[in-house]
Amino acid sequence: MGATLTLGRLAGIRIGVHWSVLVIFALIAVGLAAGRLPDAHPDRPGWLYAVVGVATAVVFLLSLLAHEMSHAIIARRNGVGGDEITLWLLGGAARLKSEAPSPAAELRIAGIGPLVSLALGVVFGLLTVLFGQVYGSGLLVEALAWLAVINVLLALFNALPAAPLDGGRLLRALVWWRTGNRLRATEVATGAGRALGWLLIAAGVFLAFAGAAVDGLWLMLIGWFMTAMASAEGSQAKMRELLGSVPVRRAMTPDPTTVPAATTIREFLSGPPWVYRHSAFPVIDAVGRPMGLISVNRAGQVPVPERERTTVGAVVLPLDDLPTAHPDDRLIDLLPSVETSPARRALVMAEDRLVGIVTQSDINRLVNWLTSASPADGNRVQPQG
C-alpha cells in the first residue's frame, strides 16, 4: 500500500498517508460534528462541534501512528529494519526491509500494535473519568470517551486472525512455529484475510439491500481493501520465497552503457549510443566514478533552448537518491528499494566501481524465468550464483 502523500520523518522513519485516510478522517470528523456531539450536547455553536470533531479525528490518526510506530520500533529491536509507515483506511502499515528471523520475533512485532491501541484506549478512558469528575459532562469528555472506545475497538479488530491485520501476523507466527514453514504460514494468514474480506463484502451487500446503504457501503469498502491487501501480501510472500537466495548479479545488466557527465542534453537526446536503447542510464564523472542516473524524461524537461549548454551532470538524479547494492547482496533485500525508488532502478557497485544496473523489469523477467522453471511439485529451482 503505497503512500499518496509524505508527511515527513519520525525517528528516521518516513511517514506517509494513503488517499483512503481522507475517507476515514472525513467520516470521523463529520460523524462527530454533525451526529454524536450535537446529539449528546445540543445547543452548542456549530463551529465548536466542527472544531472538536476535527481535533478528535486528528488525535485518532495520531493514535494510528503510535500503533504503527510501535511495530517499527519492536521490529528494529528484533533485527528487522523498517523505513516507512503508511496510514490507510484500516489503520496503517509499517514497511519492513526483511522478514522476522523467527516465529517469536514475528509474534513480538505483530502483538505490540494491538497492545498499544488497547493501552491508549485505557488512557483515554481514564482521562474521560478524570475530566468528567472535574468538569462534568461536555464536548471534551464526549470526545475522550469516543477515543477510548474506538482505540479498544481498533485493538480488537486488528487482533482478528486474518492478514493484513496484526492478528493475521499472529496467526502466521503460530502456523510458522507449528509447521516450520514460513511460506505455508503466510498462505494460511492471507487465505484467512481474503475470507474475512469477502465475508465483510457479503455483509455489506446484505445491509445495503436491507436499507442501511451507508453502513453496507462502508463494510464493502473495508472488505475490498482487506481482500486486495491479503492477495498482495500473499504474492509478495511467494516472491520472497522464490528470490530468497538469489544474488543481485543474477538479475542485473552487467557493464551498462554510461553517459559522461559533460555530455550536453542535446547530445544525449539525439546521439548514439543512447538513443532508443534504454530509458535511463548511469552517469559517470571525468574519472569514471558513478554520479547518479539520467532518464530520457528527466532530460526532456530541460527547455529546448537550454539543451545545448546544459550538461547531463547538471540535471542528474544524484547517487544518494538511488538504491545501490553489491553483486553478491540478496536480490530480495534490494526489491523494496527498487519498488519505491522514483527511478525504479538500482545501481550495482563493487566498491566505488559501477558493475551493473537492476530495473524492475529485470526483476520481473527473472521471476518469470524462475516461476516457469519450478517443478510441478512446487519445489523451487535452486538459483546459481
* 254 pLDDT above the threshold of 60: yes
Task: Tell whether pTM > 0.75.
Answer: no
Is residue 349 domain-resident?
Answer: yes
* 241 pLDDT above the threshold of 80: no
Is residue 216 domain-resident?
Answer: yes
**Count of domains for the chain:** 2
Is residue 328 domain-resident?
Answer: yes
- Shared domain for 73 and 163, answered yes or no, is yes
Is residue 371 domain-resident?
Answer: no
Is residue 366 domain-resident?
Answer: no
Judged by average pLDDT, the poorest of 19-28, 199-208, 285-294, 354-363 is 19-28
> Residue 223 in contact with residue 347, Cβ under 8 Å?
no
Sheet holding 353-359, edge to edge: 253-254, 353-359, 345-350, 324-325
- Shared domain for 255 and 342, answered yes or no, is yes
Tens of pLDDT, residue by residue over 15-32, are 877 777 888 888 889 999
- Shared domain for 72 and 214, answered yes or no, is yes
- Shared domain for 39 and 175, answered yes or no, is yes
* 211 pLDDT above the threshold of 80: yes
CATH number for 316: 3.10.580.10
Tens of pLDDT, residue by residue over 216-233, are 888 898 899 889 888 888
* Range 164-177 average pLDDT: 92
Indicate the residue among 242, 264, 281 that finishes a domain.
242
Q: 175 lies in which domain range?
A: 5-242
Cite the DSSP H helix spans in 180-274.
182-209, 213-242, 265-270
Residue 2 pLDDT class (50, 70, 90 cuts) = low
Give residue 30's identity as a one-letter amino acid code: V
Which sequence positions are flagged as catalytic? 68
Which phi-psi region, left, alpha or beta, contains residue 41 (left: φ > 0; alpha: ψ -120 to 50)? Answer: beta
Set of cell numbers at residue 31: 460523524
Tens of pLDDT, residue by residue over 92-143, are 666 666 678 899 999 999 999 999 999 999 999 999 999 999 888 889 999 9
Is residue 372 domain-resident?
Answer: no
* 384 pLDDT above the threshold of 60: no
- Shared domain for 277 and 149, answered yes or no, is no
Is residue 369 domain-resident?
Answer: no
Share of the chain above pLDDT 70, in %: 92
- Shared domain for 55 and 198, answered yes or no, is yes
pLDDT at 261: 95
- Shared domain for 205 and 260, answered yes or no, is no
- Shared domain for 234 and 256, answered yes or no, is no
- Shared domain for 155 and 280, answered yes or no, is no
- Shared domain for 71 and 186, answered yes or no, is yes
- Shared domain for 45 and 150, answered yes or no, is yes
- Shared domain for 222 and 78, answered yes or no, is yes
370 compared with 373, residue with greater pLDDT: 370
Q: What is the mean pLDDT of the chain?
A: 87
Specify which residues 95 forms β-bridges with. 84
